[in-house]
Amino acid sequence: MATIPAMNDPVASVRAALSTVMDPDLHQDLVTLKMIRDLVVEAGVARFRLVLTTGACPVKQQLEDQCRAAALSVAGIASATIAVSAEVPQGGQGRDLVPGVRHVVGVGSGKGGVGKSTLTANLACALEQSGARVGLLDADIYGPSIPTMMGVHEQPFVIERKMVPPVRHGVKVISMGLLLDRGQAVVLRGPMIGKAVQQLLSDVDWGELDYLLVDLPPGTGDVQLTLTQSVTLAGAVVVSTPQAVALADARRAVAMFEKVKVPIFGMVENMSEFICPQCGHSEAIFGEHGAEQEARALGLPFLGCVPLEPAVRIAGDQGTPVVLTHPHSRSAQAFRRIAEQVASRISISALGGSG
């Protein structure tokens, strides 16, 4: 980068240089986006904060490097000290059921058994690891599995008529499974299911959250409709395995979200291939690239493939998602990449960029 002549005001000179650094998703410069804050210049040292729109930003290091290079391009600047942090932008939910929650994200599939709850739990933990404040609502009233996958078994306690959700792995968790005795069945008719979902939203003290992930049940029925009528979803993620029978139901889930005008962040292909833990051989036991091809056919972003590894199942059964137990595994890396993309798309939507 060419050296930029210093102006009479060194702060103005550095700010002008930093205004050349563009956010690749929002397509605006960092100064305009107010991501450069508290800029001071003293004795040839530029100090400022780089405030990203999410801690899960996939280009975090790239932006920091570009900011440093821009600052050093100003004549008289010998070094740059950058404090990198994140501040998730406020969404436009505009409804009172979850007033402290910036963004509500639904994770659905249309079909059971495709790993939707596994994806939701791992996304929640990946986002929490990035520094975000995260909640996880298990909206599968009949078959709640999040308590097992997150290792939460204690009932929430109540303060001033609000349930205080237990915290596990840094994530606030609520589920019908936490309100029942182990093994007790939920026997409710359709209208009561909708009421239960509303209570899990409104009767819980979620506090201040950047993201509330909602693990939706299979199908396109009462829970999904109640959720979309009760809060404004920032968007939805649709999960499928590669085979045709799962993709048919995923297609219905996409149609449902589109009908109720919920933005779809993209599709995820789960169990894309089985990876042998002994030899590392991979086998596409459910077919290849089905969800990727379906996303392309529907004009949706494809968020990535998650391989089927025994560690994923073991981690879920033991109550600690694989992004925490085996962070360097292929599945954990895939979950983190998907979390980064979802967080990025939320920021783009909240700030009015184009993705």
Give the domain-ending residue among 86, 118, 151: 86
Is the domain of 134 the same as that of 34?
Answer: no
In a domain, 43, yes or no: yes
Is the domain of 66 the same as that of 112?
Answer: no
| Of 276, 218, 284, nearest in space to 248 by CA | 218
Q: Is the separation of the CB atoms in 208 and 237 below 8 Å?
A: no
| Of 302, 231, 296, nearest in space to 266 by CA | 302
Give the C-alpha separation, 154 to 167, whole Å.
10
Is the domain of 50 the same as that of 119?
Answer: no
Is the domain of 253 the same as that of 302?
Answer: yes
The first and second tokens of residue 124, run together, are 């929640």
In a domain, 93, yes or no: no
Give the domain-ending residue among 32, 60, 86: 86
64 backbone dihedrals φ, ψ, rounded to 5°: -60, -45
Give the C-alpha separation, 349 to 90, whole Å.
10
Number of domains in the chain: 2
| Close Cβ partners of 126 (under 8 Å, ≥ 6 residues apart) | 56, 323, 335, 336, 338, 339
Is the domain of 196 the same as that of 325?
Answer: yes
Q: Is the separation of the CB atoms in 261 and 308 below 8 Å?
A: no
Residue 77 structural domain: 10-86
Give the domain-ending residue among 57, 86, 115: 86
Give the C-alpha separation, 350 to 328, whole Å.
31
Q: What CATH number is given to the structural domain containing 304?
A: 3.40.50.300
Strands 157-159 and 162-164: antiparallel
Is the domain of 243 the same as that of 330?
Answer: yes
Helix (H) or strand (E) segment spanning residue 159: strand 157-159
Q: Alpha helix (H) ranges present in the chain? A: 10-18, 60-72, 116-129, 146-150, 190-202, 222-230, 244-259, 290-298, 310-318, 322-325, 330-351
Strands 171-175 and 167-168: antiparallel
In a domain, 95, yes or no: no
Is the domain of 311 the same as that of 172?
Answer: yes
297 backbone dihedrals φ, ψ, rounded to 5°: -65, -35
Q: What pTM was estimated for this model as a whole?
A: 0.87
Write out the chain's pLDDT in tens, 355 residues.
Answer: 555 555 578 999 999 999 999 999 888 999 999 999 999 999 999 999 999 999 888 889 999 999 999 999 999 999 999 999 999 988 754 456 788 999 999 999 877 888 899 999 999 999 999 999 999 999 988 888 999 999 998 889 999 899 999 999 999 999 988 887 676 666 666 667 778 888 889 899 999 999 999 999 887 777 888 888 888 899 999 999 888 888 888 899 999 999 989 999 999 999 888 877 778 777 777 777 788 999 999 999 999 999 989 999 999 999 999 999 999 999 999 999 999 999 999 998 888 754 5
Place of tokens 């009561």: 192
Q: What CATH number is given to the structural domain containing 21?
A: 3.30.300.130
Is the domain of 146 the same as that of 185?
Answer: yes
